[in-house]
Structure 1
Amino acid sequence: MLRLRKAFRYPESDNDDSSREELDEQEQETLIQSLRRQDEERNAQYKVGYDLNPGPARHRLILSQLVFTILPLVSSIIYFPRSLAPSNTPLQTAFCVLGIASLVATAYIMWAVTPTRPDRKGKRPIRDIERENGFLKRYLAQINFLACASLSVAACFVGDPSGSKDLLRVLYVVPGAVYLVVYIVRKTMMSVDIGELERLRYEFKGA
């Protein structure tokens, strides 16, 4: 008994029902292989080979986490002299302390990325499973985002009779900038799940 095969096609939208061309089987394979190569190249840069056996790939993952964990901690050092300055107002001191707390939280968020172990075929992506690890990790990112946003708003309205407004603006903006860098790095370390595309492909092909 013959079975019809469905061609793989892009999802249709309300605005464009017929403008996208169907992909034949060879084009499907080419597209998936291209995405797989991109995924493997990115893995090689950030987190290839996370397994039980120590090796260069695992070292690269640890090194990436270490570098972007140290970055916020080093950045927090610049706040200590300013937070202890006798010319500070109580509000300025509070914002400096908030900046230090935000940078320490960013460092913890970076180091707390917990990769899952890949499956035996090596296709399972590294995922951020912080949501499974308790209240603190679940909400720390949101709390830190609010702290960074508060500091950024404060930078727009900073006032300092001593004439160091520019320095304070920089200090208030640094936590948000560092957190943005760490956020991008963490997202980049998550790989595309090519297996999902392959399953979708064969669903369209039919049995």
Structure 2
Amino acid sequence: MASTRLRRTFNYPAESEDEDAIEEGMDSKDQETLLTKLSTRDTSSTRLYTRLLLAFPLLPALLYIPRLFSIATVLPSLLAIASLLATAYTLYYLPLPPVRIRVTSMSDAPKTATSKDKPKRRSIARSATGFSSTPVRHETPDVPYISDEASGLLKTWIVPVNAVLCVAFAGWEVWQSRAWSEGFMVGGGSLPGIVMGVIMWARRELRVVDLGELERLRYRAKGT
């Protein structure tokens, strides 16, 4: 007897149904894997982007070195190099505190990279529903060859002093009454301020996401 095959039309599950199934079937091991993956990916990408951005202030600093051999440009070049190095120091050694995420359940946690319409990585703690950003304590990288007292003074004063120096450069550029394009070139008064502004914005965007709230929520759910 010939066997009869029953054919059933395959229906793709809706996105909401698929996410609900994933959330309901996520046990403690899956939650731990998800948190570890999110933390590792966020930390590694932050470290990578930080190192890439270091070229933005360091490259112009190297281009200022030939100007040190001229008496007319040695002083402003030294100040510009100091400003650019201070900007690079701020980016690498003075990262902003991590962003803490607050959720009410593990279903509010960020989905994996395969989810559709996933918010951007840096917008998790600011725009996703159920999340709020709060700075938490963190440890800054150790500065080699500098004492703790000197490191504390740099942490307190390097950003405001660098900002004053950039404003002075910008004022000097206005006083020179040169073409605006010359101010953005090496030796121009606008370059240190532009570099510092871009790095300060990038430094804010590169804040690490703290997943401690999700860890506490996971253990709380595990104990209930």
- For normalisation by structure 2, the TM-score amounts to 0.48
For the pair 1:150 / 2:137, whether they are aligned, the reply is no
Q: How does 1:132-147 map to 2 (within 5 A)?
A: 134-147=152-165
Q: Secondary structure of 2:84's partner?
A: helix
For the pair 1:99 / 2:84, whether they are aligned, the reply is no
Task: Kindly indicate whether the alpha-carbon contact (under 8 Å) linking 1:110 and 1:186 is maintained by their aligned counterparts in 2.
Answer: yes
The alpha-carbon deviation at position 102 of structure 1 amounts to 0.3
Aligned partner of 1:64 among 21, 26, 49:
49
The alpha-carbon deviation at position 70 of structure 1 amounts to 2.5
Task: Kindly indicate whether the alpha-carbon contact (under 8 Å) linking 1:51 and 1:58 is maintained by their aligned counterparts in 2.
Answer: no
Percent identity between the two aligned chains: 21
Q: Secondary structure of 1:157's partner?
A: helix
User: Which amino acid letter does the alignment assign opposite residue 66 of structure 1?
Assistant: R
The alpha-carbon deviation at position 83 of structure 1 amounts to 2.2
Runs of 5+ consecutive residues of structure 2 not aligned to the other structure: 1-33, 104-108, 110-130, 141-150, 211-224
Count how many residue pairs are aligned between Structure 1 and Structure 2.
136
- For normalisation by structure 1, the TM-score amounts to 0.51
Task: Kindly indicate whether the alpha-carbon contact (under 8 Å) linking 1:114 and 1:127 is maintained by their aligned counterparts in 2.
Answer: no
The alpha-carbon deviation at position 167 of structure 1 amounts to 5.1
Q: Sort the Cα spacing of 1:189 and 1:53 in 2 relative to 1 into closer, same or farther, 3 A.
A: closer
Runs of 5+ consecutive residues of structure 1 not aligned to the other structure: 1-48, 194-207
Task: Kindly indicate whether the alpha-carbon contact (under 8 Å) linking 1:158 and 1:169 is maintained by their aligned counterparts in 2.
Answer: no
Which structure has the greater CA radius of gyration?
A: 2
Structure with larger RCO (C-alpha < 8 A, sep 6+): 2
The alpha-carbon deviation at position 119 of structure 1 amounts to 7.9
Aligned partner of 1:175 among 164, 185, 192:
192
Supply the distance in 2 between the matched residues of 1:94 and 1:183 (Cα, whole angstroms): 25
Q: Deviations over 1:141-187 (max 9, x none)?
A: 00000111111111123399xxxx97577322211100000111122
Q: Deviations over 1:30-52 (max 9, x none)?
A: xxxxxxxxxxxxxxxxxxx9979
CA RMSD of aligned residues (A): 4.1
